[in-house]
Structures are given as C-alpha cells and as structure tokens.
Chain A
Amino acid sequence: MATDHKTLQPLEFYKTFLDRKTRPDGRSLLEFRRMTLNAGSIGTADGSAIVKCGNTAIICGIKAELVAPERDEPQKGLIIPNVTLPSLCSSHIKSGPPGETAQAATQFIAELVNNNIIMDLETLCIKNSKWSWVLYCDLLCINLDGSLLDACVMALVAALKNLSLPVVSYDEEMDKLISNIEDKMGFHGIKQPVTSTFSLFENGILISDPTFEEEQLAAGVISITMEGTSVTHLYKPGGCTLNEKQVKKLMQQSELKTKEVVKLIEEACSPMGVEPID
C-alpha cells in the first residue's frame, strides 16, 4: 500500500511526512545526514580524500604538475577541478559525455577556486612567470544521493589539506628548479569553506541535506557556502522563491553544519592519521 502510494503520487506521499515534521528516512526537517571522511586513502595520488554524506560518496584525488603560469596572471598557480558523474553512480545519469549536473558542479567548484575561496592561488607559484604548481583535482562520484556540492567541497578541501608535494626551489643563476624528492611539504593557508544544501517546498517548508529523491520532488535548491561565520557564496539556481526571514534561518543552520564539518576535516587531516569520525 505504502509503496503504491509512493510510486503513483510521490509528492503527495512525501507531503504527508512533511506535514508531520519528519521525513521518510527518519530525519527531522533540518537534520543533516551522518558524514564520514577519510583523508589520504589513495597512495599513488599527491593528495586524496573520500567523503560520505549519507549515501552520497565522493572520491577526490589530486595530481600535481609543474608548469609555466598563465601569461595574464604570472603570479598565480592553477587548480583545475573536474567533477565526474559516471553512469554507475545513479540510474538517472546516462553514460557518455558529462551531463548538465556534472558540468554545473564543475563550474560551481571552479568559481570557488578562482575567487580564492578555497586557497590563495598565489601560494602555488614558485617563481613569478616561470614556474608554478598546477593541481588537477578530480572528483569522482561513486554514489549520487543528493547534496552533491556539499560532498564535493568537503572532499576537495580535505584532499588539499592532505596534499604533500616535494619541496621545489628555483635557482636563478642556473635557471632551473632544484628539488629533493624526500623533502615533502603541504600547503598552509587552505581555507575551510563548507557548503550546505537545502531544498525548498512550495508551502515554504525547508529541509536540509536533501537526498536525490527529495531534490527531484522539491521546488528548488539553495547552496550556502560559509567560511567560519561569514557567507562566501549563496547559490540558488531558480526554483521557488525565498524571503529574507527564510534566508536568515538557513544561514543559522549552515553555520551549525560549518562548525561540525570543520571539526571533522581537522580531525581526519591531523598527522595522527586517518580515522573516520561521525
């Protein structure tokens, strides 16, 4: 009976839960899913992390190369993010060239990177207009169950914190790079932006950390990126409208999540190592 109702009238089915201020998976409206984070899981990558938010799972691997910086920005290094949604991650994703969801997510992360929200790109430069690091950050989704951007940002930040590269210096007289493979270094000053996604329903009900099903049924999504207590990015692609009071409420919720995620990343990326924490 319940499954029939769900298949025939998914929105009605869902609304009966919302009216009772609960959700089909047992969460309350503004509750987040359990998060797990493991840093440094891929031995052959320069930096890596696996993130699970509920059923959504993302792997991030970073490969570093040395290149000449771009001509119009000679003092900056590069971070090239790429979000891949293979067809195995969800039945809604078709194989073939990257679809709209993947490209929109890549663009979202690229905007965070280019506006120095994740880290100051100038720290990646070794010698002005000669050498700089380029970090290829590949984000692969293993299981897509909503709140893709939250997991992607978290995985990227954790992988960047986990990054270890050989110490390279530039010798001006010889005009070449000197490095010692055994000396490794990480980058300091990686910021900790945290993205929180919320779904909105027509009658003004807000839910946090939506699953894929909830995202499909909802009338709109909003992703708030915060760093500490300041808002860095408010991404709301269309959908049903929001008033200022609702925005304020969401800000408070994302502040709570930000605190939790920052703690989680710090614990997972601490030199003590790699234990998953909820």
Chain B
Amino acid sequence: METEEKSIRALKCEQSVLSRADGSVMFSQGNTVVMASVYGPLEAKIQKELSDRMYIELNYKPKIGMPGVAERGKEKLIKTTCNHIILTNLHPRTAVCITVQEMQDGGTLLAASINAVCLALLDSGLPLQCLVAAVTCLVDKKDRIVLDPCINTVKEGYKAMCTFAFDSQKYNMILSHCEGQVPYQLFQKAMELCQKASHVIFDFYRQAVLRKFSKELL
C-alpha cells in the first residue's frame, strides 16, 4: 500500500465570467473544466416556496445531450451540499438558481462541480456558513491510492473511486460518495488524504478572492 501522487492537479479559475448572473465562475482542475452560475435570491415558484428558508434549485448540464438519471444523482449531491453551506434561513420564501455546465471531462467531475459552485457562491456574495472543498481519490487495482486522478487513470479501471467534501471550519466531512468496494481501513486512509488535500483548495479560494478584489480596487 503506497501513495502514488500526493498533490492535486493545477487549479485555475476566472470569476464573474457571465455578465447577467449574480455570481459565475469558470473553474478548471487539470483538464476538467466546469462553469457554474448563481442567480439569486429570486422569487420562488409557489409550489417550491419554503416558509422558513430559501429553496435551492440546482441544474447540472452535461456536455452533450439531455440530463439523465446519472445527472440527477449528481444534482442531488451538489444541492444537499449547498443546502449545508448557504445560510438558507436568512432568505425565507425565496429561491436561488444554480447551474453547473460541464465543459470538459478530465475525470473527477463531481469534485470539480462542487468546487466551482462554491467559488460561484463566493462571487455572488450570498451569505455562507462556511466554504466547501471537494477532493476525489481513487484506489487502483494494486491498492494504491491516487489523489485527484485524471481521466486516463480512471479509464484504466479501479477498485473504488471516492469523492469527499470538507467544510472550512473544522475540516469535517460534509459529503461522501463512493463507487466500488474497499476495506474500511483503506477507505479511512483515502479520506485522511483527501482531507489534507482540501487545504490546498481552501488556499486557492483565498487567492482567487484576493485577486478578484485587488483587481476591482485598481
């Protein structure tokens, strides 16, 4: 059992890419590119209105074709994560509409989508409870843990692929999703590794915000 790659791929982002959205971002993690936009708080549809908190609508758009069952699964995961980080009870009876557009699949789409949504929320200025960073890791057939695998590694086949999301306060787990089967000890190791890697993403968020505001001041 050894770890192959200990770092995550290069992160890049550009905030406020869309002129009409309240918050938007183009985010890339290696070859994976995702665009996210946030509109809100908006008036909620009557059947979607919640009396005590904000309703979150999340749409995940695949690169080709219409969203199917697999996309619905992703939407649910991202939406429930957003539900935790957004202070929804500050805006009762309203809705926020978040759209995630897949631009290029280089593996780890779910993690990249969550990170993009978090950056878009930051850009929109909605009050958040904390930030979230998602990291994917893969356990290959020789029981090695590969952090943030690229699409070629994923296509080679794996024992399990796990995605975790952590909060920025205590680095506790918000989301966990895995495909495949691993013994608990390996799973725990993978989780710890992802938890450490999430710090890199939080640092990146800080830099992105710094850059954005220093640009605005000029």
Interface residues of A (CB under 8 A from B): 100, 103-104, 106-108, 110-111, 114-117, 219-220, 222, 227, 230-244, 247, 251
Give the CA-CA distance A18 to B139 in the complex, in Å. 39
B30-38, B100-108, B174-182, B203-211 - interface stretch? B174-182
Q: How far is the CB of A249 from chain B (nearest CB, A)?
A: 13
Q: Say yes or no: is B213 at the interface (Cβ < 8 Å to chain A).
A: no
Please give, as numbers and ranges, the residues of chain A lying within 8 Å of B160 by CB-CB distance: 115
Which residue in B72, B175, B176 is a CB contact (below 8 Å) of A104?
Answer: B72
Q: Is B1 at the interface (CB under 8 A from chain A)? A: no
Residues in A whose Cβ lies below 8 Å from that of B182: 231-232
Contact A236 to B177, CB < 8 A, known contacts A230-B184, A231-B184, A231-B187: yes
Q: Which 10 A-B pairs have the closest CB atoms?
A: A238-B80, A107-B73, A241-B172, A238-B81, A103-B72, A236-B176, A237-B80, A104-B76, A232-B181, A231-B184
Q: Closest A residue to B162 by CB, please name it.
A: A234
CB contacts (< 8 Å) of A108 on chain B: these are 73
Q: Chain A binding site: helix, strand, loop or mixed by DSSP?
A: mixed
- In the bound complex, residues from chain A placing their C-beta under 8 Å from that of B84 are 219-220, 238-241
Known contacts A106-B69, A107-B70, A230-B181; decide if A237 and B187 are in contact (CB<8 Å).
no
Cβ of B167 within 8 Å of any chain A Cβ, yes or no, is yes
Shortest CB-to-CB span from A222 to chain B, Å, is: 8
How would residues 38 to 74 of chain B score, 1 for a CB under 8 Å from any chain A CB and 0 otherwise?
A: 0000000000000000000000000000000110110
Contact between A115 and B180, CB atoms less than 8 A apart:
yes
**Cα distance, A54 to B161, chains bound together (Å):** 33
Chain A residues with Cβ below 8 Å from B162 are: 234
Across the interface, which residues of B come within 8 angstroms of A231, CB to CB?
182-184, 187
Contact of A111 with B179 at beta-carbon distance under 8 Å, contacts A100-B72, A241-B167 already known: yes
> Which single member of B80, B179, B180 contacts A239 (CB below 8 Å)?
B80
Report Cα–Cα, A219/B78, bound state, in Å. Answer: 15
The closest CB in chain A to the CB of B75 belongs to A100
A238 lies within 8 A of B69 (CB) = no
Q: In the bound complex, do residue A235 and residue B177 qualify as a contact, i.e. CB atoms below 8 Å apart?
A: yes
List residues of chain A with CB within 8 A of the CB of B188: 244
Q: Which residues of B contact A235 (CB under 8 A)?
A: 176-178
Q: Say yes or no: B173 contacts A242, CB within 8 Å.
A: yes
- Return the chain B residue nearest A193 by Cβ: B181
Known interface pairs A103-B69, A231-B187. Does A238 touch B181 (Cβ–Cβ under 8 Å)? no
> How distant is A104 from chain B, measured CB to nearest CB, in Å?
4
| A115: contacting residue among B75, B174, B179, B187, CB under 8 A | B179
**Interchain nearest-CB distance for B32 vs A (Å):** 20
Residues of B within 8 Å of A247, CB to CB, are 173
Quote the shortest CB–CB distance from B190 to chain A (angstroms).
11
How far, in whole Å, are A183 and B24 apart by their CA atoms in the complex?
A: 62
Query: Does any Cβ of A come within 8 Å of B142's Cβ?
Result: no
Q: Closest chain A residue to B76 by CB distance?
A: A104
Bound CA span A111–B188, Å: 21
**Partner of B178 from A114, A234, A239 at Cβ < 8 Å:** A234
Q: Does B82 contact A (CB under 8 A)?
A: yes
A219 to B89, CA, bound (A): 13
Closest to A221 in B: B80
Cα–Cα distance between A200 and B68 once the two chains are bound (Å): 29
